Amino acid sequence: MQTVTLNNGVEMPILGFGVYQIPPEQTERAVSDALAAGYRSLDTAAAYGNEEAVGRAIRAGGIPREELFVTTKLWVSDAGEDRARRAFETSLRKLGLDRVDLYLIHQPYGDVYGSWRAMERLHREGLARAIGVSNFYPDRLVDLIDHNEVTPAVNQIETHPFFQRTAYQELMRERGVQIESWGPFAEGRNNLFTHPELTRIAEAHGRSVAQVVLRWLIQRGVVVIPKSVRAERMAQNIDVFDFELSADDMAAVAALDTGASVFFDHRDPAMVSRLGTVTLDS
């Protein structure tokens, strides 16, 4: 598995398995299938409600802990120095682990700075090998970097052929932050899986559109965490390291960028208010 080296020297697989929107009752089976397919990086979050199922699959899989890279995230309702620490301990308990490899602030709302202070301590204590953020736009990311001791290792953001974030990726590279894609397939929006240009490239390589999209992200140096509940799709999604897109292929995909989210804008006041009021069951 190809890896990227984070700003603190920790190595992270460039391709992992995400469990967003997988119901808890299906998650253990899905993660077990993913581990069997060769995935070693797993991405969950307190807000997904399936950390316990991820933990059960890890224990059942019998894979040495040092071979796994486990990410989870802090939700808005748990923001703040004291609450963030308690939320992290809850996630560890649910996962059944003594540390995580990456802990992210899930949304750029609430007491972000209190949360970050708590996370810096978790990092110093070795409970989180790396810490980072998710869904931070450039202004919020730069402000966090400029006023804190530890620079986020990762920023996990919406990144796919229709919202490519190339200029932002360059800013992150300059600041030592690794870009990670959520929603690499745009959840099929804009007819991604049947898009004529992506289909043309896929047919030229004897691959699926999904494989082309993942390969395009990997060649850009973007960490990616595709999700599926089907074992055959999991196997297909991880089978992207034995072909390469040409410069013309990369340019053709680059031409699909709309420069806008296909989901929602994290700077929209209504969305900020909506996400900021969602609380989690402990």
Taking the domains of the chain in order of start, what are their residue ranges? 11-276
Whole-number pLDDT of residue 128:
98
Residue keyed to tokens 């995230």: 73
Whole-number pLDDT of residue 122:
97
CATH architecture of 11-276: Alpha-Beta Barrel (3.20)
Radius of gyration of the chain (CA): 18
Whole-number pLDDT of residue 168:
97
Whole-number pLDDT of residue 273:
84
Question: Which sign does the torsion angle of CA 106, 108, 109, 110 carry?
Answer: positive
Q: Are 240 and 15 in contact (CB under 8 A)?
A: yes
Whole-number pLDDT of residue 264:
80
Written as one string, the DSSP assignment of 129-168 is: S-EEEES--HHHHHHHHHTSSSPPSEEEEE-BTTB--HHH
What pTM was estimated for this model as a whole? 0.94
Whole-number pLDDT of residue 194:
96
Whole-number pLDDT of residue 282:
57
Q: Are 126 and 87 in contact (CB under 8 A)?
A: no
Cβ neighbour number for residue 62 with a 10 Å cutoff: 7
Residue keyed to tokens 């049947």: 194
Q: Are 215 and 243 in contact (CB under 8 A)?
A: yes
The whole-angstrom separation of Cα 273 and Cα 106 is 15
State yes or no: is 20 an active-site residue.
no
User: What pLDDT, in 10s, does the model give residues 84-102?
Assistant: 999 999 999 999 999 999 9
The three-point CA angle 59-77-156 to 5° equals 60
Q: Per residue of the chain (282 residues), what is the pLDDT tens digit?
A: 899 999 999 999 999 999 998 999 999 999 999 999 999 999 999 999 999 999 999 999 999 999 999 999 999 999 999 999 999 999 999 999 999 999 999 999 999 999 999 999 999 999 999 999 999 999 999 999 999 999 999 999 999 999 999 999 999 999 999 999 999 999 888 899 999 999 999 999 999 999 999 999 999 999 999 999 999 999 999 999 999 999 999 999 999 999 999 888 888 888 888 887 788 875
Considering the candidates 48, 103, 109, 168, report the single residue annotated as catalytic: 48
Q: Are 37 and 235 in contact (CB under 8 A)?
A: yes
